[in-house]
Amino acid sequence: MYKLKKTSIAAILLISIAASQSFAQTAKKTKAPAAPVKKTAAVPAKAASAPNVLKNKMDSLSAAIGVSFSNSLSSQGIDNINADVLTQTVKAALKGEKTAFGPEEANKFIGEYFQKMMEEKGATVRIEGEKFLEENKKKEGVVTTESGLQYQVIKMGEGPKPAATDKVKTHYHGTLTNGTIFDSSVQRGEPVEFPVNGVIKGWTEALQLMPVGSKWKLFIPYQLAYGERAAGPQIPGYSALVFEVELLEIVK
């Protein structure tokens, strides 16, 4: 709901080559939990033992970097890395030997790779959102404005309408188009105050149409929400959003 600053993800991809780099923000991919280890009456389950190679602090640091590196790859949806090429490149880089990429070339390639990956994933999310909104606008009671914002009146209030420069108090419940909840003041049991012109475009437009005391359901295309960028781990880039918004008062 609030405007978020664009951020970059530290590229742990390069940490084992001695430096952190930044590239375009990617949406996080949640890993399924590992299957539980089965136990029998005769033999208790044992966790897999780690290789006994940690003889000093540098060994431990190397192992820790390996874990962080692997987790970073997994969280970004990369599970088919060529470990042999990676290992050879790390060894060569640490020795100062020639590698396939120079530092600037490597950064450029990484940035372009993740940008393309984001665009491909974004295209899927964008198409799903557009299909949802296209079907939704046909439903009874749904109004579509010139900007593409869609709303449905649950309750129409009788108070004044706020201006863009006003501060308002609202209750809201936000979901993706598939029903996944990403934020809800209703669930927290605490309404929120903010300036009308300090939120996403879809909210700014809708609030100025709502008399105080109204409760509307908003269907917001990605252009009027967070656009091409993700907003935290729960809202991918290009996401259409759905909100139930209750305008409680104009804060004086």
Note the pLDDT of residue 162: 98
Q: How far apart are CA 130 and CA 239, in angstroms?
A: 9
Q: Which of 20-29, 40-49, 161-170 has the highest mean pLDDT?
A: 161-170
* CATH domain 128-251 topology: Chitinase A; domain 3 (3.10.50)
Catalytic-residue membership of 78: no
Closest CA to 197 of 188, 189, 186, 208: 208
Catalytic-residue membership of 222: no
Share the mean pLDDT of the chain: 82
Q: How far apart are CA 55 and CA 61, in angstroms?
A: 11
Catalytic-residue membership of 243: yes
Whether the CB-CB separation of 217 and 151 falls below 8 Å is answered with: yes
* Percent of all residues in the chain with a pLDDT value above 90, rounded to a whole number: 60
Q: What is the pTM of this model?
A: 0.62
34 pLDDT more than 60: no
60 pLDDT more than 70: yes
- Given the residues 200, 219, 235, 238, the one annotated as active site: 200
Sequence spans of domains, the chain: 9-121, 128-251
Catalytic-residue membership of 132: no
Tell me the backbone φ, ψ of residue 184, rounded to 5 degrees. Answer: -160, 110
Note the pLDDT of residue 130: 96
| Mean pLDDT score, 83-112 | 91
Catalytic-residue membership of 69: no
